[in-house]
Amino acid sequence: MERILLKPGITIRGRWYGGEYRVIKLIGSGGTARVYLVRDLSDGRKYALKLGSDMAGVEREYKVLSSLSSIDYVPRVYVRDDCTIEGRKRFFFIMDYLEGENLKKLCSTRRIPQGTTVEAAAITAVICLFLNHRGLYYCDIKPENLVFDKTTGNLYLVDFGGVVGAGQPVTQFTPAYDRAGWGSGQRVADESYQIFAILMMLVDLLLDGIPEVGRDLEALKQRVNKTRLSKGLKKVIIKGLDVENHSLKGLVSDLRRVLRMADGVGEGLNQCSTDVLINAGLAASVAFFIMVLVFIL
Ligand SMILES: Nc1ncnc2c1ncn2[C@@H]1O[C@H](COP(=O)(O)OP(=O)(O)O)[C@@H](O)[C@H]1O
Ligand SMILES: [Mg+2]
């Protein structure tokens, strides 16, 4: 179905709840939908509005997000409604606007210390653990779906349309991070699937892209081994890509050990002064999540 691009200044009106939202700008677009920064004309506040043509997809994502409203690292959702744009029916929901960038954009526009990237991977693993515990398996792990909120320094997971139950087929994934695409297991939702994606994301971000090795896992591991990443981190990545039943909890403690180790992650844990807020936010998030792990799981 044709995708509509909304221009700044246009007002979207909800059919059932009557909300009016003025478009400020397009924030991002992925495979299925577009996300806009909007102003709610009733309270004057800014929100993010996710608009799509697939009613079931928008509804599913809204339901999952609503069930996670008590979690700090997931955007809070408000209204879910329909609208008509240029004579065509569209579906949307309103959520908190995260003032920041996604990890992909952040890493491509400035030099992010390796430690920050490793912390982001650890936090992603903990968020997944937390969701798994509620029977929600988030498998479309990729830097575009992780957003830093500049105001708090916190990392948020977005894009819950592809969340499935344990053992169910994964429908939304990134080919380079998908273990089935590497001949390393099935495309079904489990912890190992998530671990594989998290480690591939780490390799992608730390090595400036996954080297084109024809989806040959052995060749990729050899490439990782030859890089200048710290010994500890290389071991975690190579072991994690290898072991089928490695747990997310184990991955989190391995990554934390790497962060604590004297040789750290090669360079620059605290070197980049412009990223102090992000580092502090991430460190706080790691501490928070460790608490969650200990007390809740
Ligand atoms: N609540 C939000 N606040 C700020 N930016 C967001 C928010 N939700 C999504 N984004 C941005 O919009 C992009 C697309 O959103 P996403 O939900 O991933 O759409 P899709 O389902 O089409 O992939 C994301 O990569 C992210 O950069
Ligand atoms: Mg997305």
Residues of the chain scoring pLDDT < 50: 263-264, 266-274, 293-297
The verdict on the CB of residue 27 being under 6 Å from ligand 1 is yes
Residue 24 main-chain phi, psi, to 5 deg:
-95, -50
Q: Which ligand is nearest to the CA of 52?
A: 1
Superfamily of domain 100-296: Transferase(Phosphotransferase) domain 1 (1.10.510.10)
Choose which residue among 5, 24, 35, 173 to substitute to test ligand 1 binding: the one with the highest number of ligand atoms within 8 A of its C-beta. Answer: 35
Strand pairing category for 77-85 and 88-95:
antiparallel
Q: Which ligand is nearest to the CA of 31?
A: 1
Question: How far apart are the C-alpha atoms of 102 and 140, rounded to whole Å?
Answer: 14
Residues 6 or more apart from 34 whose CB is under 8 A from it? 3, 5, 6, 26, 28, 50, 51, 52
- Per-domain residue ranges of the chain: 11-95, 100-296
Question: How far apart are the C-alpha atoms of 177 and 196, rounded to whole Å?
Answer: 7
Using DSSP's 3-state secondary structure scheme, residue 61 falls into helix
CATH annotation of 11-95: 3.30.200.20
Instruction: State in Å: Cα 214 to ligand 2 middle.
Output: 25
Asked whether the beta carbons of 155 and 285 are under 8 A apart, the reply is yes
pLDDT in tens, 263-283: 445 443 334 444 555 555 566
Q: Do 11-95 and 100-296 come out as alike in CATH topology?
A: no
The verdict on the CB of residue 48 being under 6 Å from ligand 1 is yes
Instruction: State in Å: Cα 29 to ligand 1 middle.
Output: 7
pLDDT reported for residue 282: 63
Choose which residue among 27, 78, 105, 107 to substitute to test ligand 1 binding: the one with the highest number of ligand atoms within 8 A of its C-beta. Answer: 27
Choose which residue among 154, 159, 163 to substitute to test ligand 1 binding: the one with the highest number of ligand atoms within 8 A of its C-beta. Answer: 159
The verdict on the CB of residue 173 being under 6 Å from ligand 1 is no
pLDDT reported for residue 201: 96
